[in-house]
A and B are shown apart, each in its own frame.
Chain A
Amino acid sequence: MTSISAKLDDISTGAGGADLSGAQVSRLGSCWTLYLLTLRQHLHGRRWIALAVLFMLPAGLAVVIQSTRARAPDTFLDFLLSWILIPQALLPLIALLYASGIIQDEQEDQTITYLLIRPLPKWLLYIVKMIATWTTTVVLVVLLTVLTYAAIYIRSDVPVADVAARCFKTAAIQSLAVVTYCSIFGLLGLLTKRSLIVGILYTVVVEGLFANLPLSVRMSTVIYYTRIMAYRTLSFGVTWPNGDQNDVAAEAWFLDVASDPQLKEHPRLLSCVLVLSVISVVCTVIAAALCSQREFHVKTPEKD
């Protein structure tokens, strides 16, 4: 290292003249960097293989179903894939994959130290990472929805504009749902080390069981509001090859459209949006508050 002395002089002049007292120092810049770092963490590595399988699943299923026996009605397939498979199984899984590890992954990998020693308060750190997680999951959900719709309607005679409108509405509703799931699982990740198990139990018991009971308890689930939004904005009437017609969503979701066609007993579209948004914000704020008071142990015993 012949030039080591000269290089040492560089350090002594202030890391290349980095003047931290001036306007060069910006918290917004730090946040943006953390946001980009989190996005990169989400998207690098072999996780793509698992994600690609998940993404292709509904679309692949649509192709398989359409190519076996007689073609299923498009709306029925749309309902099964976009409104049963995706919100019931894929959205919670994607949210669980990304959100429950926002802090836990950094802690397990012991890289959290590099974030904690930067001039970013811990609550801001959490919020920025959560926003990045929302971004990733929403982009993924939009991709997932577009792929699924393309596979379902590719050979359909439904006008492209109608399919695009339906796809847009579905993507918007599911994005809101995944944002809410992320916020809930992010909070779980700070409340318990077993966030994955608790998250799965939540998904199975609350979003799986409670949501499918024709009782008011379903109003405590994310999927209920997602379904109401879907039902208020999309049509789920299916016409079968033999001429039978039925409303698959109303039947499957226990919506009594016969006596209450306007769904007056259920929240309105705006209320659903508000409920999910408020849940997301409240969970994120609570988690950020927890985060700001929390010690993140690296190389020291966990118990305090």
Chain B
Amino acid sequence: MPIIDQGYQHWSGELSGQAWRWLAITRRGVKTALQGRWIRLAILVAWLPALVLAFVLCMWGLVERQSDLVETFKPFLTGLLGRPVVAGPREYRVEIWTLCFHYFLTWELGFIMILVLMAGPNLVSQDLRCNALPLYFSRPLRRIDYFAGKLGVIATLIGLIVIGPILVAYSLGLLFSLDITIVRDTLPILFGSITYGVIVAISAGLLMLAMSSLTRNSRYVALLWLGVWLITGTVSVVLIQVDQAQRSRAVGARYHRWDNEQFLSAELDAAKHDWRPLVSYTANLRRMEESLIHTNAAWQKLIELTPVGQRGRLMFNLVDTQYPWYWSAGVLIGLAVLSACVLNLTVKSLDRIK
């Protein structure tokens, strides 16, 4: 009977470059994630806002061209945006595009949280549970490849519902506009949106991976994610509410109405130094989005078109995004560093696995 060496069989063939090895993990992870019916359904639902975005951008292109196709909508648009905007749409192109992308990204943030909740908890916890880490680290993979591969799964899913639809909607918007200057005007919005997508993917991905490495039970990971998403949001709202209630009660019940522009101006001033939104994870992401696509500037321009006394409705949109954006960036960077440290501590390479 021939005796065959049962020890480690070294691969004698060619190996692919180190730089792309993580891709195998990502590819497998994405495939597994997309096999889930619920995840596929969530992605489909998450594309609905993208359809709306594409539709609105196309319509705006027609408005800019004063097309007869949108003639019937003009009274509605005038009521919604005001006569100056509809009369000179090209002057307000950047603002309208910015706000369209802003609303799209706001909606998508909710879907991102849900999608990460559905696809993320298993990523590391499952490997810990099944003691599958040696399967990775017994191959010429480094820990960084493993992390990048797992992060790639979340990034791909986020890309599918944010970056992909943005590119499609943007292209359609350009096609319907038929004006080359639109590229110059709107390219920063496109870059800002894509950068935002990348920031969310890295931040949410690292955070989820860190949580997933803390326990072998994916249910607890999902609950931790919920805590970060909903509890930090609720806590932030509670803190803000208390603060606002104290300020508004201090000035009297009649004065503290949210359609009172004087009161709103005072609130905007107070919000410039307010740390309370930083407690909410999603508020920090939203603040980054605002700073990247300059939502505040778009609102400001539209506010200036509105007669004094009727600006409260629009000014209200500015309250949450007054504090410096780098505060939020600091929080997100801090969380990312913390996540990386947690991953470093919890996922050991083969020689340190029990």
- List residues of chain B with CB within 8 A of the CB of A108: 217
Contact of B38 with A244 in the complex, beta carbons under 8 Å: no
- Give chain A nearest CB distance to B119 CB in angstroms: 11
Contact of A242 with B219 in the complex, beta carbons under 8 Å: no
Contact of A244 with B253 in the complex, beta carbons under 8 Å: yes
Contact of B217 with A50 in the complex, beta carbons under 8 Å: no
- List residues of chain A with CB within 8 A of the CB of B253: 244
Contact of A197 with B239 in the complex, beta carbons under 8 Å: no
Say whether chain B's binding surface is mostly helix, strand, loop, or mixed. Answer: helix
Interface digits, A69-112 against B, CB 8 Å rule (1 contact, 0 not)?
11010001100110011001110010011001100110010000
Q: Bound complex: CA of A93 vs CA of B238, how far in Å?
A: 17
Contact of A93 with B227 in the complex, beta carbons under 8 Å: yes
Contacts A85-B238, A89-B230 known; A50 to B117 CB distance under 8 Å? no
Q: Which residue of A lies closest to B118 (CB)?
A: A197
* Contact of A285 with B by CB under 8 A: no
- List residues of chain B with CB within 8 A of the CB of A47: 220
Contact of A76 with B242 in the complex, beta carbons under 8 Å: yes
Which residues, 227 to 260 on B, are CB-close (under 8 Å) to A?
Answer: 227, 230-231, 234-235, 238-239, 241-243, 245-246, 249-250, 252-253
Contact of A69 with B38 in the complex, beta carbons under 8 Å: no
| Contacting residue for A93 out of B226, B241, B252, CB 8 A | B226
Q: Bound complex: CA of A251 vs CA of B38, how far in Å?
A: 38
Q: Which of A57-65, A127-135, A293-301 lines the interface with chain B? A: A57-65
Most chain A beta-carbon neighbours within 10 Å: one of B223, B224, B235: B223
Q: Bound complex: CA of A108 vs CA of B239, how far in Å?
A: 39
Q: Bound complex: CA of A84 vs CA of B236, how far in Å?
A: 13
Contact of A200 with B117 in the complex, beta carbons under 8 Å: yes
Q: Which residue of A lies closest to B36 (CB)?
A: A194
| Contacting residue for A196 out of B222, B230, B235, CB 8 A | B222
Interface digits, B203-229 against A, CB 8 Å rule (1 contact, 0 not)?
000000000001101011011101100
Contact of B235 with A72 in the complex, beta carbons under 8 Å: no
- List residues of chain B with CB within 8 A of the CB of A50: 220, 223-224, 227
* Contact of A7 with B by CB under 8 A: no
Contact of B249 with A240 in the complex, beta carbons under 8 Å: yes
Contact of B238 with A100 in the complex, beta carbons under 8 Å: no
Contact of B38 with A88 in the complex, beta carbons under 8 Å: no
Contact of B38 with A65 in the complex, beta carbons under 8 Å: no
Total contacting residues, chain B, CB less than 8 A? 28
Q: Bound complex: CA of A61 vs CA of B38, how far in Å?
A: 36
| Contacting residue for B217 out of A54, A88, A105, A240, CB 8 A | A105
- List residues of chain A with CB within 8 A of the CB of B241: 80
Contact of A93 with B231 in the complex, beta carbons under 8 Å: yes
Most chain A beta-carbon neighbours within 10 Å: one of B222, B245, B249: B249
Contact of A97 with B215 in the complex, beta carbons under 8 Å: no
Most chain A beta-carbon neighbours within 10 Å: one of B38, B238, B239: B238
* Contact of A241 with B by CB under 8 A: yes
Contact of A242 with B238 in the complex, beta carbons under 8 Å: no
- List residues of chain A with CB within 8 A of the CB of B238: 61, 80-81, 84-85
Contacts A65-B242, A197-B118 known; A244 to B249 CB distance under 8 Å? yes
Contact of A57 with B231 in the complex, beta carbons under 8 Å: yes
| Contacting residue for B239 out of A53, A61, A76, A104, CB 8 A | A61
Contact of A93 with B223 in the complex, beta carbons under 8 Å: yes
* Contact of A46 with B by CB under 8 A: yes
- Give chain B nearest CB distance to A253 CB in angstroms: 15
Contact of B38 with A194 in the complex, beta carbons under 8 Å: yes
Contact of B219 with A65 in the complex, beta carbons under 8 Å: no
| Contacting residue for A244 out of B214, B231, B235, B252, CB 8 A | B252
Q: Which residue of A lies closest to B121 (CB)?
A: A196
Contact of B234 with A85 in the complex, beta carbons under 8 Å: yes
Contact of A54 with B226 in the complex, beta carbons under 8 Å: no
- List residues of chain A with CB within 8 A of the CB of B226: 93, 200
Contact of B227 with A105 in the complex, beta carbons under 8 Å: no
Q: Which residue of B lies closest to A47 (CB)?
A: B220
Contacts A96-B223, A104-B219, A200-B226 known; A85 to B246 CB distance under 8 Å? no
Q: Bound complex: CA of A60 vs CA of B224, how far in Å?
A: 19
Q: Bound complex: CA of A100 vs CA of B226, how far in Å?
A: 15
- Give chain B nearest CB distance to A140 CB in angstroms: 14
Q: Bound complex: CA of A244 vs CA of B253, how far in Å?
A: 7
- List residues of chain B with CB within 8 A of the CB of A57: 231, 235
Contact of B223 with A196 in the complex, beta carbons under 8 Å: yes
Which residues, 16 to 47 on A, are CB-close (under 8 Å) to B?
Answer: 46-47
Q: Bound complex: CA of A89 vs CA of B117, how far in Å?
A: 17
Contact of A100 with B234 in the complex, beta carbons under 8 Å: no
- List residues of chain B with CB within 8 A of the CB of A69: 243, 246
Contacts A50-B227, A93-B226 known; A242 to B242 CB distance under 8 Å? no
Q: Which residue of B lies closest to A208 (CB)?
A: B230
| Contacting residue for A242 out of B118, B231, B239, B250, CB 8 A | B250
Q: Which residue of B lies closest to A97 (CB)?
A: B223
- Give chain A nearest CB distance to B33 CB in angstroms: 14
Q: Bound complex: CA of A65 vs CA of B222, how far in Å?
A: 29
A residues in contact (CB < 8 Å) with B? 46-47, 50, 53-54, 57, 61, 64-65, 68-70, 72, 76-77, 80-81, 84-85, 88-90, 93, 96-97, 100-101, 104-105, 108, 194, 196-197, 200, 240-242, 244
Task: List, sorted by A's number, 9 A–B pairs whose CB atoms are closer than 8 Å.
Answer: A47-B220, A61-B238, A64-B239, A72-B246, A76-B245, A84-B238, A89-B234, A97-B220, A101-B219
Chain A to chain B: the 3 pairs with minimum beta-carbon distance, closest first? A240-B249, A89-B234, A196-B222
